[in-house]
Structure 1
């Protein structure tokens, strides 16, 4: 009999992907299946293993993809197959998350489970807006109620009067549609019209919007500012306070969509996030390796004849050394060879394998690499260039002007990851609303973005700042009908980050001056 699995009920936090707990992330990284709601950030799904099955069940007000009873049964069935299942829920599983119902179903089926608490928006969204749930001498308690079920029959629930009479901070989750009913109910129970109130839309996220007022004018202000769900209603004296964070990062409030291979986007995500940006994977590319193909095999067998190996990307470095080991060779086969790398990132990747680059141009572009090589090689040299199938022809054109012999061999190609294609298509329609910038790290990535429906892809980029890592990527983008708005001065992750930081600073400073 197959051993039963286990279900982890994990709280995803209030929206900001950085606010999931370390334990919650640990469970995600080791699960076989993840059953998830409408999350504020898809970034958390990137943490799961490649073999993990992702199952979307909806659970957004008014748009449930699967009934709760069906979700309960799904969790049981997955665990009975011996899988480690993460049930990923926004906020905390037990704060209006119906986690209790799911546990009852698991207990009935004798399925092991674990609850991993999450940061609830009832506290985090308020803190993000600068509103403390408690404050000495102002509010000694806070109370949370769901506003989602208040008006099923057009009336307030029986316990609302007792709730409304409480002192301290009153918090209503999922209640924006019932705001008029909530306000009138509170005032009917004796809350003065001057009682401070606030409404927070998309708390902890870049699109966060905070409207402050009092019970008399909060509805009018919410309508005037166009506040929409998901939103939290706060009533009480602390709603008048503003303890918003004053320490700002260079990319605070900046939303960036990134494209590229996992090895690159992982590093770019880390860099941009550390600068305060909110980063989301828009299009992922996977590597198709050709290191076992006939031409690469011939190159490995004839390494003794080469005097230089030229790397135009970190991907090429990784693929080359993987193939070298697969051939039964080791670093001793390269002792006589010099190395050239297109930029610092590629040189750093080479150093991981124990080799320093003999030449890296000051400007991290393929044309600069080619010009530098022309000055360093002679007719006695033979070069190996293992790279992508879409490598720049500028390198060939300049090397053809020398007397040196070279082999330009396709080592790998990049292609769109099939499992994310539909997700990427769905995002394109609203991309201008979701992002301020979109980055492209290679010509292959630019081409992949425009596959299938180039007109829709072009339209999705209207109003966005498009950032390219270098001229070759920019040329590929332009060939698809869109010019780059920003081109990194350095062909590197840091170069992309610097370009965005500089433009965002100019943009936000200009906005402040208006």
Structure 2
């Protein structure tokens, strides 16, 4: 009989993916299946393994695509298959997250579980908006209540009167639709109309907005500002404070849309957010490998005849060496070969496999790679170029002017990745920059629907990682505004920083 798996109830935090706990992230990275809802950050889904089963259950107030009982059964069924399951929930599993109901269902079925606490928005969203939930001399306690009513007619809970009379900070989660009922209820139960109040939309997320006022005017201010759900209501003296972060970041206020493979986009996202930028993933690219195809098998078989192997991307390095092993060879097969790499990032990837690049141009462009390589080779050399099917042919054109023989072999292709539910949005309206890390990325963006966004390119600056990528963009009628001087994640970040300043 197959042993049951384990279910981990993981709190994803208030929205900002960096606010998930280290333990929660570890469980997510190593699970076999993740059951998630619309309250969890979509960016966290990028942390799961490639073969992890992702199941969207869409729980949000007023729009349940799967009933709680069905979710309970799903968790039990997945665990009975022997899978390690993460139930990814917004905030903390036990703060209005119905985690207790899932625990009871797992207990009843004899399924082992673990609860991994998360940062609740009741505290984090306030802090992000500059409101301390407690403060010496103003608030010695805080109290959290669901903003839902007991009926469709809008009946406040029977203990609301006692809640309203409490001192300290009062926090209502998921209650924007009942703002009027809550505010009037607080005043009716004795709170002064002059009590400071605030409403925070999308706390800790890039679209965070905050409206401040008092109980007497907060409704009107919210209506005028157009605040929408999800939002948190705060009442208490601390709502008048503004302890917003004053740390200076080079890209503070900058909104950037990025494209690329999960590996590259992940690194770029981390770099840009560390500089204070707000990042939106426009399009993910997936890699289709041909490393064990007939043509590459033939190339591996003929490795003893090559004197140089030239890599034009880090992807090519990874695919080449994994294919080498999968086809029955090991690193001894390339012990006699010299390596050329297009840039520092590619050279670093090569070093991970124990090989130093024999030639890397100062400028990380294919043309510079070709021109430099031409000076190092002779008619006695034979060069292998394993790379993307959409890679630049400039290298070939220059090598054809030499006496050396070379074989250009398609090792992989890069195509647009089908996004998970709610994971990506290609709209670029409102962004300051859009980045492209390859010609393949440019082509995939427009082929997947970016053509509809061409009019918005007049209001956004387009950043390309190099000249080849910029040339691909030109074929779609748009010149690059910025081209990174260094062919790398840092190069793109530096180009944006210099321009944004």
TM-score by length of 1: 0.90
Q: Report the Cα distance in structure 2 between the residues aligned to 1:70 and 1:460, rounded to whole angstroms.
A: 42
Tell me the equivalent position of 1:378: 378
SS in 2 for 1:450: helix
- More displaced stretch, 88-97 vs 211-220: 211-220
Instruction: Please list, as runs of the form range in 1=range in 2, the aligned pairs for 1:43-192 lying within 5 A after superposition.
Output: 43-149=43-149, 152-192=152-192
Is 1:496 the equivalent of 2:486? no
Tell me the equivalent position of 1:432: 429
- More displaced stretch, 467-476 vs 14-23: 467-476
Deviation at 1:163, TM superposition (A): 1.0
Q: Report the Cα distance in structure 2 between the residues aligned to 1:315 and 1:138, rounded to whole angstroms.
A: 56
Deviation at 1:227, TM superposition (A): 1.3
Runs of 4+ in 1 over 6 A off after TM superposition: none
Tell me the equivalent position of 2:445: 449
Is 1:290 the equivalent of 2:284? no
Tell me the equivalent position of 2:222: 222
Q: Report the Cα distance in structure 1 between the residues aligned to 2:438 and 2:233, rounded to whole angstroms.
A: 45
Q: Report the Cα distance in structure 1 between the residues aligned to 2:72 and 2:297, rounded to whole angstroms.
A: 52
Task: Provide closer, same or farther for how the CA distance between residues 292 and 9 of structure 1 changes in structure 2, counting only shifts above 3 A.
Answer: closer
Q: In 2, are the aligned partners of 1:258 and 1:440 still within 8 Å (CA)?
A: yes
- More displaced stretch, 149-158 vs 454-463: 454-463
Is 1:39 the equivalent of 2:39? yes
Deviation at 1:92, TM superposition (A): 0.9
Deviation at 1:327, TM superposition (A): 5.0
Q: Report the Cα distance in structure 2 between the residues aligned to 1:55 and 1:324, rounded to whole angstroms.
A: 35
Tell me the equivalent position of 1:18: 18
Deviations 1:66-104 (A, max 9, x none): 122222222222223332221111111111111222222
Q: In 2, are the aligned partners of 1:144 and 1:172 still within 8 Å (CA)?
A: yes
Deviations 1:83-137 (A, max 9, x none): 2221111111111111222222223333222221111100011111111111111
Q: In 2, are the aligned partners of 1:206 and 1:254 still within 8 Å (CA)?
A: no
Deviation at 1:487, TM superposition (A): 1.9
Deviations 1:145-167 (A, max 9, x none): 11122663234332211111111
Q: In 2, are the aligned partners of 1:432 and 1:462 still within 8 Å (CA)?
A: no
Deviation at 1:59, TM superposition (A): 1.6
Q: Report the Cα distance in structure 2 between the residues aligned to 1:71 and 1:500, rounded to whole angstroms.
A: 44
- More displaced stretch, 68-77 vs 163-172: 68-77
Deviations 1:351-401 (A, max 9, x none): 222322222222111112122223333334332222111121222222222
Structure 2: gaps (5+ residues)? none
Tell me the equivalent position of 1:249: 249
Q: In 2, are the aligned partners of 1:42 and 1:280 still within 8 Å (CA)?
A: no
Is 1:475 the equivalent of 2:471? yes
Q: Report the Cα distance in structure 2 between the residues aligned to 1:460 and 1:4, rounded to whole angstroms.
A: 51
Deviations 1:31-77 (A, max 9, x none): 22211110352111122222222111112222221122222222222
Q: Report the Cα distance in structure 2 between the residues aligned to 1:456 and 1:293, rounded to whole angstroms.
A: 36
Task: Provide closer, same or farther for how the CA distance between residues 12 and 331 of structure 1 changes in structure 2, counting only shifts above 3 A.
Answer: closer
Tell me the equivalent position of 2:341: 341
SS in 2 for 1:368: helix
SS in 1 for 2:152: coil
Task: Provide closer, same or farther for how the CA distance between residues 149 and 462 of structure 1 changes in structure 2, counting only shifts above 3 A.
Answer: farther
Q: In 1, are the aligned partners of 2:46 and 2:262 still within 8 Å (CA)?
A: no
Deviation at 1:440, TM superposition (A): 1.9
Q: In 2, are the aligned partners of 1:151 and 1:178 still within 8 Å (CA)?
A: no
SS in 1 for 2:91: coil
Task: Provide closer, same or farther for how the CA distance between residues 423 and 152 of structure 1 changes in structure 2, counting only shifts above 3 A.
Answer: closer
Task: Provide closer, same or farther for how the CA distance between residues 460 and 2 of structure 1 changes in structure 2, counting only shifts above 3 A.
Answer: farther
Q: Report the Cα distance in structure 1 between the residues aligned to 2:80 and 2:335, rounded to whole angstroms.
A: 55
Count of aligned pairs: 501
Instruction: Please list, as runs of the form range in 1=range in 2, the aligned pairs for 1:229-268 lying within 5 A after superposition.
Output: 229-268=229-268
Deviations 1:397-424 (A, max 9, x none): 2222233322222222222334x27757
Deviation at 1:287, TM superposition (A): 2.5
Q: In 2, are the aligned partners of 1:4 and 1:79 still within 8 Å (CA)?
A: yes
- More displaced stretch, 322-331 vs 475-484: 322-331
Task: Provide closer, same or farther for how the CA distance between residues 399 and 96 of structure 1 changes in structure 2, counting only shifts above 3 A.
Answer: same
Q: In 1, are the aligned partners of 2:416 and 2:448 still within 8 Å (CA)?
A: no
TM-score by length of 2: 0.92
Tell me the equivalent position of 1:510: none
Deviation at 1:239, TM superposition (A): 0.8
Q: In 1, are the aligned partners of 2:154 and 2:178 still within 8 Å (CA)?
A: no
Deviation at 1:481, TM superposition (A): 4.1
Root-mean-square deviation over aligned CA pairs: 2.4
Q: In 2, are the aligned partners of 1:16 and 1:205 still within 8 Å (CA)?
A: yes
Deviation at 1:248, TM superposition (A): 3.0
Deviation at 1:213, TM superposition (A): 1.5
Deviation at 1:13, TM superposition (A): 0.6
Deviations 1:223-271 (A, max 9, x none): 2222111111111111111111222332334443432223323332332
Task: Provide closer, same or farther for how the CA distance between residues 414 and 79 of structure 1 changes in structure 2, counting only shifts above 3 A.
Answer: same
Q: Report the Cα distance in structure 1 between the residues aligned to 2:412 and 2:124, rounded to whole angstroms.
A: 45
Tell me the equivalent position of 1:5: 5
Q: Report the Cα distance in structure 1 between the residues aligned to 2:309 and 2:80, rounded to whole angstroms.
A: 53
Q: Report the Cα distance in structure 2 between the residues aligned to 1:447 and 1:211, rounded to whole angstroms.
A: 42
Q: In 2, are the aligned partners of 1:43 and 1:280 still within 8 Å (CA)?
A: no
Q: Report the Cα distance in structure 2 between the residues aligned to 1:421 and 1:488, rounded to whole angstroms.
A: 30
Q: In 1, are the aligned partners of 2:149 and 2:155 still within 8 Å (CA)?
A: no
